Amino acid sequence: MELARAWAARGENAAILCLDAMQVYRGADIGTSKPTAEERAEFPHGGLDLVDVGERFDVAQYLAHADAFLRTQREVGRRVIVVGGTGLYFRALTSGLCEAPQGSEELRAELAALSTEQLRARLEKVDAPMLAQIDPKNPRRLARAIEVMEATGKSLREWQDETPEPLVREFTALWLQREKDELHTRIEKRVEEMFAQGWVEEVRGLAATRGVEKVMTFPGIGYREIAEAAELPGQMRSQVQLGNEDALKRNILVATRRYAKRQLTWFARENKLLSVMLTGHPSFFAALRAARVPDLS
């Protein structure tokens, strides 16, 4: 927002494309920290509210939306800022999307029922080299690698090597970072703020409109935890009992910290990023100057 406002101040139009795999879901607003209505009114935003909770959405669908959004903004003369933390979306947008086909519904259901340990063992058996190239703690990545190998007889890595040209080829990519203690403090503060903003009510509303099962299987951090703590299948209480709330917040806090650690690991492998440390600087632009980032004007 600081960068978009700086461009706007000198008469240059800007738009923002969100790069977040959870913000594409309608109704999951507080728990995914979507831009506010005021921020969306200030600048056009893409990548938000594309499907309902419980519907299937993948990186190919995201790229189709991003392609249309980017073309629209170019046509009206807006520069686009892409912001978010979904590493797979970033890689697909800037490196191209692997076109490996999906396996059968039966195979996907079979893999979905396996634990992370079982998935690792199965991938090691069918495609051991691939196991060394993906996050071994991510069950979705493990299942996808197994699915491709067993469905096509060709490793996911081979499909990736045949990936077509990316949508975005010329760009400046910034990896915004904070010192660990500050990052953890900000995560804790944000969890508290989301509860204060009515996160429990949001989950309760989604359960009422989309069904409890879809909320329980929604991958956004905190949604399943809140659904369980609020006993949505029963009375669907509007508030979590005070005795359980502290433990609930701790669980969500721990899960968020773990996710942040996985994000750091993912982006550390990307070679197209300029690291910018925000800790210790009064503003985004001060941090850019300290990092000696090329002029973004």
**In whole angstroms, how far apart are CA 183 and each of 19, 188, 190, 217, 258?**
20, 9, 11, 27, 12
What is the rounded distance in angstroms from the CA atom of residue 50 to the CA atom of residue 20? 12
Closest CA to 46 of 151, 139, 168, 226: 168
CATH number, domain with residue 126: 1.10.20.140
pLDDT digits (tens, 9 = 90+) for 126-142: 999 999 888 898 898 89
In-domain check, residue 50? yes
What is the average per-residue pLDDT within 44-72? Answer: 95
pLDDT digits (tens, 9 = 90+) for 158-199: 987 877 788 998 999 999 999 999 999 999 999 999 999 999
Q: How many domains does the chain have?
A: 3
Same domain for 188 and 267?
A: yes
Same domain for 71 and 148?
A: no
Ranges 4-8, 42-46, 233-237, 266-270: which has the least confidence: 233-237
Residue 236 is predicted with a pLDDT of 42
Extract the tokens encoding 281.
């600087």
CATH number, domain with residue 65: 3.40.50.300
Ranges 17-31, 154-168, 189-203: which has the least confidence: 154-168
Same domain for 86 and 155?
A: no
What is the rounded distance in angstroms from the CA atom of residue 111 to the CA atom of residue 106? 9
SS3 content of the chain, % helix, strand, coil (to 5): 55, 10, 35
Q: Which one is predicted more confidently, 230 or 14?
A: 14
Angle at 87 between CA 86 and CA 90, to 5 degrees: 95
Same domain for 92 and 114?
A: no
CATH number, domain with residue 233: 1.10.287.890
* Cα atoms in the Cβ-side hemisphere of radius 13 Å centred on 233: 5
What is the average per-residue pLDDT within 46-58? Answer: 95
In-domain check, residue 284? no
What is the rounded distance in angstroms from the CA atom of residue 94 to the CA atom of residue 84? 14
In-domain check, residue 169? no
Same domain for 84 and 147?
A: no
Q: Are the beta carbons of 155 and 130 closer than 8 angstroms? A: yes
pLDDT digits (tens, 9 = 90+) for 219-273: 999 999 998 887 654 444 444 454 578 889 999 999 999 999 999 998 998 888 9
What is the average per-residue pLDDT within 113-120? Answer: 94
Same domain for 128 and 150?
A: yes
Residue 182 is predicted with a pLDDT of 97
Residue 231 is predicted with a pLDDT of 61
Q: Which one is predicted more confidently, 246 or 72?
A: 72
| Mean per-residue pLDDT over the chain, rounded | 91
What is the rounded distance in angstroms from the CA atom of residue 60 to the CA atom of residue 101? 11
In-domain check, residue 296? no
In-domain check, residue 18? yes
Same domain for 266 and 213?
A: yes
In-domain check, residue 52? yes
In-domain check, residue 56? yes
Q: Which one is predicted more confidently, 238 or 200?
A: 200
Residue 233 is predicted with a pLDDT of 47
Same domain for 157 and 184?
A: no
Same domain for 60 and 134?
A: no
Instruction: Give the domain extent around 80.
Output: 1-97
3-class DSSP assignment, residue 217? coil
In-domain check, residue 173? no
Same domain for 53 and 130?
A: no
Residue 162 is predicted with a pLDDT of 79
